Amino acid sequence: GHIPTLAEARHRLEHLDQHGPTAFAFTFKRLFDRPAAGSADHA
């Protein structure tokens, strides 16, 4: 796994606030599939 930096965490929280839950930034209320190997993991 990867421990995000504070800047990465802040970016994902901003994304969550603007776009709602996605595979890139999520809450634990909704499940998302694991990203495919080699794919970009952000929206």
pLDDT tens figures, 5-39: 999 999 999 999 999 999 898 888 888 888 777 66
Supply the pLDDT for residue 43: 55
Please tell me the number of Cα atoms within 13 Å of 1 on its side-chain side: 4
pTM of the predicted model, to two decimals?
0.67
Query: DSSP code of 21?
Result: S
pLDDT(42) > 80: no
